[in-house]
Amino acid sequence: MDREVRRVEDSYVETMHIVRPNHLNSAGRLFGGILMEWIDEVAGLVAKRHAKSNITTASVDNLRFLKGAYQGDTLVIIGKITYVGTTSMEVRVDTYCENLIGERRPINRAYFTMVALDQNDKPMPVPGILLETEVEKAEWENGKKRRANRMMRKEAGF
Ligand SMILES: CC(C)(COP(=O)(O)OP(=O)(O)OC[C@H]1O[C@@H](n2cnc3c(N)ncnc32)[C@H](O)[C@@H]1OP(=O)(O)O)[C@@H](O)C(=O)NCCC(=O)NCCS
């Protein structure tokens, strides 16, 4: 039977947060652990929409804090599926700080590997991706390389 495919935009997720006093670290900047919680949630929502099943986070790589964020900042978090294996999905999550005229400055990027789980919490196959744009095709090709790196690190145990 042919593998079912879904479009990238079908699982696209965008969320927003205001940085409040309880999100800050002792130096007065957004605490990285809070942002990691928000981006993990977005990655999970993307994966859930794509797989239409329960999911779990297997790994996170290339997580880069590019700029800090401060109290009162408006953050926009965007998650998109970029690559799928058999039971795993790679989700790219970009975080931006948005100003009052809607300009967005990137502050974080990360790639999550999410795994679809069946009713017994065992990995289950996921649909493929219908690649519709040049950007999606390029992400897919780069996703193959990132997956190879991940597998190499897993085998090496680091
Ligand atoms: C992720 C998990 C389900 C993988 O289970 P497993 O027994 O290794 O299953 P498999 O070997 O069949 O791997 C399943 C998929 O995960 C991928 N995978 C496993 N470990 C991985 C890792 N460290 N990094 C990236 N992908 C990984 C495999 O490549 C495979 O993908 P594929 O089917 O597309 O090829 C399991 O390790 C787990 O439950 N971990 C805990 C997850 C969790 O609790 N997360 C929340 C954080 S608290």
| Distance in angstroms (rounded) separating the CA atoms of residues 78 and 13 | 6
| Distance in angstroms (rounded) separating the CA atoms of residues 111 and 143 | 9
| Distance in angstroms (rounded) separating the CA atoms of residues 115 and 72 | 35
pLDDT of residue 158: 85
94-97 contact pairs (CB < 8 A, 24+): 95/35, 95/38, 95/39, 97/67, 97/69, 97/73
For the stretch 33-53, pLDDT in tens is 999 999 999 999 999 999 999
| Distance in angstroms (rounded) separating the CA atoms of residues 43 and 12 | 10
What's the mean pLDDT when you consider all of the chain? Answer: 97
The reply to whether the predicted model has a pTM over 0.75 is yes
For the stretch 79-103, pLDDT in tens is 999 999 999 999 999 999 999 999 9
Instruction: Specify the residue for token string 């790994």.
Output: 59
Tell the residue nearest (CA) to atom 29 of ligand 1. Answer: 88
Tell the residue nearest (CA) to atom 12 of ligand 1. Answer: 123
**Is 19:34 a contact under the CB 8 Å cutoff?**
no
Ligand 1 site, residue 85, Cβ cutoff 6 A: yes
pLDDT of residue 95: 98
Ligand 1 site, residue 86, Cβ cutoff 6 A: yes
**Is 31:19 a contact under the CB 8 Å cutoff?**
no
For the stretch 101-152, pLDDT in tens is 999 999 999 999 999 999 999 999 999 999 999 999 999 999 999 999 999 9
